[in-house]
Structure 1
């Protein structure tokens, strides 16, 4: 029996899963994703990641036959390489997108970046617009930038390390980068004006087989020379693609949760997107634009807990949530440092947080934010929750009560990103469709009234039935 090996590089954690022919994970490893604060700027620990990957692959290959590798990573990251420059190939370190030093180039860069109507990429803080990262690196390190032969999106960098083959792929190119025009399915005017087109390798679909692992990788890991490597995909799009396959042409929304909570709404026109609310278009694996909204759900959940003096794993139930609603205690954005629908606001707690209610307040906050973004998108049809928030059933039940006019489904596996990435290996065959189950709703009193008061506190009232 052959197995698929999936590398999942998230912003906070890195994971390795080995899936059998039924899609079951038979081997997994996980580790924190480190950012190095050393010169020349905060950057990802690429060598540490690479050695961790090789060790995990070696361990998996000792126990199971591995026939294919597919890769998924977070967005807003690219590798500047010289393909003739040795194993790692890096001309400059892979920059951490949270580094605010990039903003020193804002006045120059903002004169060059395309209109929102071209890229559907809003102005984001720090390095969340990948084009801003690249422009800043070129300005700060011109000699190094001049040695670059290829700009590789993050999944494709790891694929290149494994195969020696360079490529680009649309889900990472179209992820609020300023580099891609979703409606023309081509590079944006920014790429043309800066004369960067030649630095981006050929664009291939995420299911394209780049080749087999290099012989030296086989020697290091025990992988067979026949082990195929695929181009890879942006992580939120990996979660999304299985639902696209199973929902046919019906409108639906996938909420992919982790460090970021990203809402991807199929069947929604792009004309309603508000760039000032961190709304944007992503591009799915087939090249189709998808209306999206987002906030740093995992990061903000932890920040609210900390502000309330609670551990993130503090246990709570309906009683604690009801206490908060009855007392009118609220968490008001923003707790992310400038992302999401309320950038520039200072997050605050309003009212007294009763003992044992800190995690309940964080859950209530995140559920209200998700509900708000669903309304902003005018999301229709079923809602599917993927990722980290599945570990918080009370939060999911809160959202289910808030969205009583829609069906809310919970992914029945906690490896949705991995499963979606694995689907690329057998693209054109039977897609590994998501397993979902209905989530129970909370039965909290006066939740709708509390929601109205919360939105009024933001100065963003929407019509809500009492």
Structure 2
């Protein structure tokens, strides 16, 4: 790609979808967004691929009228896959079966049967998570529910590769998507998990491409129908968090631990020893876009934040004085308020407020920010002692959050990026990977110092969490 090229980046999140025009240096020029549409069954709750496809091509046509688009780079979360036919236009979206919403509860018989097949931790890359999370578990459910459709299908594709296939007609597999708790790929050994040959799924898995590889050009009929450049390059794309992590790799920050925040707090580190990964504490073995292992940790911070802050959280930033008042009087939120244990085994659904409860909406928001900063510090501790830390995502727009993380994680250099489009920037940088000769610039800020009341508060919170932990099974 040339330095003046513009890329269309398609970022499929669980909650929202973004289509951005991004220059080759990672600067976002324009973004369109859509709430990710979900339909109820049958046969299960699923994402509306046909509606997304119509929106995508309308958006691409609009962007092409305003920008000289040279390429298309897809990114997406790792907890979904699409079983497809040979032809991307069959059935309107090419899908042999609807794409399962990973928060759809599993039938009990599917859950039990899959648990006996999932294999050891490094085959899975994670614990067995909630709902229909994990591409392998979704494919297993499809196989039980609609065996003929699975037998007749041609490929099973992660979300970014599905959209690359829709655009180009070329099917590929990609390491960072498969290494995002798909349960299909053993990241450390760089091989298919044992469940793939055991179930005969190898025939559904296309050849590999690197996230930055051009897999083809836009299909001529699509270019003509939607007014798109006929030479528009289509790239393989990758897992959203790994693509965001690549942005810092491209900047030369290869030793940094990156914490991205939103619906999930996602921590990734290339320096975490594999033996530190504990599947019972929300830890994962991910893959970067180069196929190398990344220590990971997951906490559903966005949902936890919402549960504590409530629906009436004020828009104004949390005042340091409000948070300090809560800290001084010992008001604490203890895990976990959602249906996931994350770093605290046995805590799901047991979240509670310790001490004098927050009295106002401003105090509830302050408590939510304190709690999420403490979760972040626990994620950092789980990933090891790496000194360099980068925070990004929606939480850093709250000015107190990065400063609290710095206070709760002493001995580390905490910086943060206010760029709201890290995935889009990373994806655009992928397109120039092969030609890059020097690190790309990244704008990072340092949080300010906070009074010692917060350090003491973190110590008391950790002691309370330890006291509150349920006894091990059988004790």
Q: Taking structure 2 as the reference length, what is the TM-score of the superposition?
A: 0.92
Residue 454 (structure 2) aligned to one of 431, 447, 463 = 447
Matched, 1:148 2:137: no
Matched, 1:383 2:383: no
Counterpart of 2:435 in structure 1 is 429
**RMSD, matched Cα:** 2.0
Report SS of the residue matched to 1:447: helix
- Measure how far apart 1:86 and its partner are: 4.5
Distance in 2 between residues matched to 1:252 and 1:2, nearest whole Å: 29
Distance in 2 between residues matched to 1:341 and 1:164, nearest whole Å: 41
Q: Give matches, 1:2-401, under 5 Å.
A: 2-84=5-87, 85-247=90-252, 251-306=255-310, 310-311=312-313, 313=315, 315-342=317-344, 344-345=346-347, 346-351=350-355, 352-355=357-360, 356-401=362-407
Structure 1: state its 5+ residue gaps: none
CA deviation vs aligned residue, 1:204-248 (integer Å, no higher than 9, x gap): 111111111011211232111101000011000011112223336
Aligned partners of 2:402 and 2:415 also within 8 Å: no
Structure 1: 4+ residue segments shifted above 4 A = none
Q: 1:209 to 1:460 in 2, by over 3 A?
A: farther
Aligned partners of 2:71 and 2:234 also within 8 Å: yes
Residue 406 (structure 1) aligned to one of 399, 412, 417 = 412
Distance in 1 between residues matched to 2:155 and 2:441, nearest whole Å: 36
Aligned partners of 2:252 and 2:439 also within 8 Å: no
Aligned partners of 1:80 and 1:91 also within 8 Å: yes
- Measure how far apart 1:129 and its partner are: 2.2
Q: Taking structure 1 as the reference length, what is the TM-score of the superposition?
A: 0.94
Report SS of the residue matched to 1:428: helix
Distance in 1 between residues matched to 2:96 and 2:451, nearest whole Å: 55
Report SS of the residue matched to 2:269: strand
CA deviation vs aligned residue, 1:260-283 (integer Å, no higher than 9, x gap): 111001212110111100101101
CA deviation vs aligned residue, 1:423-454 (integer Å, no higher than 9, x gap): 12112222773523232234234222221222
Aligned partners of 1:103 and 1:126 also within 8 Å: no
Distance in 2 between residues matched to 1:312 and 1:221, nearest whole Å: 42
Aligned partners of 1:258 and 1:387 also within 8 Å: yes
Aligned partners of 1:254 and 1:263 also within 8 Å: yes
Distance in 2 between residues matched to 1:411 and 1:419, nearest whole Å: 12
Distance in 2 between residues matched to 1:120 and 1:27, nearest whole Å: 35
- Measure how far apart 1:455 and its partner are: 1.7
CA deviation vs aligned residue, 1:2-36 (integer Å, no higher than 9, x gap): 31111111111111111234432222111211221
- Measure how far apart 1:339 and its partner are: 4.8
